[in-house]
Amino acid sequence: MTITLQDFREDTRKHLGLELDESDMDNIEVDKIINRSYTELLAKYKFRAEECRATFPIVKDNVFISIPTDQDHIRMLSIEDPDDQSKVKLIKVSRERYIEELGSPTSRGKPVFYERENKGIKFAPVPDKAYTLEIIFNGVLSQLDELNTIPEMPQQWHEIILFGAIYRGFQGLGELKRAEFFRAQQTNIIAGLVETEGEESTDDIDAYTRPFPYNASRRY
């Protein structure tokens, strides 16, 4: 059964012995411990969004372009020549190598190399005409909020999120024995679940996917 954010809020408060409304713990505070549990699992067990593709125009003489994802999530960059539709994978280089490959700022040609800089990439050599850049990347899974109310992981992991939130709630209340109990319960469920999923498929956790809401018109 799918557990929504509102279900998480009510169940967390109920286990902590609090009123189900916001009189004892408001939504901001309860969402905080829910999302701490959620993001811990996302990071520790390598859940990720599905592979995404996006294209961007490369403007002549412009060596920098902004992209919508962090460096760790990029899978591949390629460039397409509009004249013959040929596509070539770009080679990522260090800052030092980029400077070497760029050579003179006046040298131009079809980009072959790139380096990451802040929220974008820089090409070398300087584009001699317009090209199309294709980026393949893994989308980022978002925290739970009013617009994103269902965890982006298999349903059998939803109770694990809940136990992690309850554990953190009892920690905050200073009830450490109860916190340790729910932490142990969470750990035991994870151990059994990971073992079962490992027997069935090595891809259940590492390759869990979802559509990535990328908007090509948005500025990043």
Question: Which residue range is the domain that position 103 belongs to?
Answer: 51-138
Answer whether residue 182 is part of any domain: yes
Look up the pTM and report it: 0.61
Answer whether residue 187 is part of any domain: yes
145 and 118 part of one domain:
no
Q: Which residue has the tokens 């509102």?
A: 6
Which tokens is 100 given? 């070497």
Return d(Cα 145, Cα 34) in angstroms, integer.
10
More confident residue, 138 or 76: 76
Answer whether residue 128 is part of any domain: yes
More confident residue, 70 or 214: 70
**Closest by Cα among 152, 204, 188 to 41:** 152
Model pLDDT for residues 4-36, shown as the tens digit of each residue: 999 999 999 999 999 999 999 999 999 999 999
81 and 32 part of one domain:
no
Answer whether residue 213 is part of any domain: no
